[in-house]
């Protein structure tokens, strides 16, 4: 199982939110590159980098942060947030993203999203399936759709998507454990390569997610608040 720390960016700074609420913003470091380098120094190979300004603005904003981290570390970066056009995608890949995650675009403009999948392949394009009460959330989680998360993933699995990141927004940043039952259901019904996100609070949570078959897990606030120590993750990596 891939261990994937997250760096969320607002105004070029490393922040965390609770349940996706921008009013709960807490700044952890004003230099995301420092955070990324610390991850790499502790054996981390993967990074989930989210442009929260981009998600809110509906176009890529913090690509310079991506460029800097990609140029000065060897981390394999999955980048998301505000990718709504071919130009956004071009900027993300040229700035050093190894993969991109599309959530809102997959819900709102499936034709464009599928054209990206055709052009770049399923190794480069990840489906973002973030949900609240099982309904897909869009536009930086500021809006809810009426699309069921299982149906959403199943539909894109049929169309060629191999990997999906699912965040249960009600758990995100709360440090109360991951949505294990939801992830079990997704794995059972869709057979997708699932990367779990949201609520991870301890090494025990990681072990549970590995047991149920997640191919990766994204960890955010648990690292920044010291619930999970990087040295512990180093052993897992």
Q: Backbone dihedral region of 97: left (phi > 0), alpha (psi from -120 to 50 degrees) or beta? A: beta
Task: Tell me the three state secondary structure of residue 154.
Answer: helix
Task: Tell me the three state secondary structure of residue 210.
Answer: helix
**127 CB contacts (<8 Å, ≥6 apart)?**
101, 102, 103, 106, 152, 153, 156, 161, 163, 164, 165, 192
Residues marked as catalytic:
8, 130
Paired tokens of 24: 């709960």
């Amino acid at each position: 199982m891939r261990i994937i720390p997250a760096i969320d960016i607002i105004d070029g700074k490393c922040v965390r939110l609770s349940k996706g609420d921008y009013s709960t913003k807490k700044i952890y470091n004003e230099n995301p590159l420092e955070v990324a380098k610390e991850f790499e120094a502790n054996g981390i190979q993967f990074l989930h980098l989210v442009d929260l300004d981009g998600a809110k603005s509906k176009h890529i904003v913090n690509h310079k942060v991506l460029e800097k981290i990609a140029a000065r570390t060897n981390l394999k970066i999955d980048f998301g947030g505000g990718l709504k056009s071919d130009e956004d995608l071009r900027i993300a890949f040229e700035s050093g993203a190894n993969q991109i995650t599309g959530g809102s675009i997959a819900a709102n403009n499936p034709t464009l999203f599928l054209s990206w999948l055709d052009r770049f392949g399923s190794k480069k394009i990840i489906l973002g399936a973030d949900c609240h009460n099982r309904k897909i959330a869009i536009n930086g989680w500021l809006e809810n759709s009426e699309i069921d998360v299982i149906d959403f993933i199943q539909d894109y699995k049929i169309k060629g998507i191999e990997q999906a990141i699912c965040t249960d927004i009600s758990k995100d940043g709360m440090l109360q454990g991951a949505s294990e039952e939801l992830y079990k259901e997704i794995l059972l019904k869709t057979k997708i390569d699932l990367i779990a996100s949201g609520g991870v609070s301890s090494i025990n949570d990681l072990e549970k997610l590995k047991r149920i078959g997640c191919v990766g897990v994204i960890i955010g606030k648990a690292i920044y608040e010291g619930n999970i120590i990087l040295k512990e993750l180093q052993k897992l990596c």
